[in-house]
Amino acid sequence: MLILLSSSLDDLSAHLWWYLGRSSGFVAFWLLFASVALGLAVSSRIFDGVLARAWVFELHKFLSIFVLVAMTFHGLIMLPDPYAKFSLSDLLVPFASHYRTNSMAIGIITLYGSALISATFYIKGLIGQKTWRLIHYATFALFYAALAHGTFIGTDTERLPAQYSYLAAGTLVIFLTFFRILAARSIARPKVAPKPAAAHKLPEAA
């Protein structure tokens, strides 16, 4: 028993950075999912009457920053790994990595895209509501880019819990997106006032 425990601890210490990278990747992905879901909830008014929209928006704004921190940690924690031997350019420059170049590039681009979108919360007054909204539409592409990054590069992708979690997150975002579209159409659709009933004319006297 002690021999097995010692062997497990040795394996953990030897691959500590890799385990931290894998776990932080899942954390970053689910934080991104939560941020996207809250953003859709705010715009579709799904929580109106239950939660204050201003509170949900502030939570969405906070999560976007937290996602950025988690993504950065996920990437840079691999730098000291003695087995992966990543350089700083491998982790920060798209298509520069020697390890699964395209999948790594998708993750790096997702990081920079998330940083751009998070920054727009603080310059909304400068760029205007319309531009801010257009930039935020890129969040959908970033979410599915993160999903592709995790699917193609994750060492846990072959495990059923990871597959089910990716499938559930992707499906929920699609559902919330369609709900958002339907809600927007419902709000924008003009209400047609009912036509007044035609008055019956009395026959004219001869």
Q: What is the pLDDT of residues 98-141, one digit of tens each?
A: 888 999 999 999 999 999 999 998 898 888 888 988 888 888 89
Taking all residues of the chain, what is their mean pLDDT, rounded to a whole number?
80
DSSP tally for the chain: helices H, then strands E: 8, 0
Tokens of 119: 């920054």
d(CA 179, CA 47): 13
d(CA 20, CA 23): 5
Taking the model in full, what pTM does it have?
0.78
Pick from 7-16, 34-43, 70-79, 174-183 the range whose average pLDDT is largest: 70-79
Higher pLDDT, 6 or 115: 115
Listed as own residue / partner, the contacts of 104-111 with beta carbons closer than 8 Å and 24 or more positions apart are 104/153, 106/145, 106/148, 106/149, 106/152, 107/75, 107/145, 107/146, 107/149, 107/153, 108/75, 109/145, 110/71, 110/142, 110/145, 110/146, 110/149, 111/68, 111/71, 111/72, 111/75
Residue 202 pLDDT greater than 60, yes or no: no
Quick one: average pLDDT of 29-33? 93
pLDDT tier at 13, thresholds 50, 70, 90? low
Higher pLDDT, 196 or 38: 38
Quick one: average pLDDT of 27-33? 93
pLDDT of residue 107: 93
Nearest 10 degrees: Cα torsion 183, 32, 35, 143: -30
Q: What is the pLDDT of residues 152-189, one digit of tens each?
A: 987 788 888 888 999 999 999 998 888 877 766 665 55
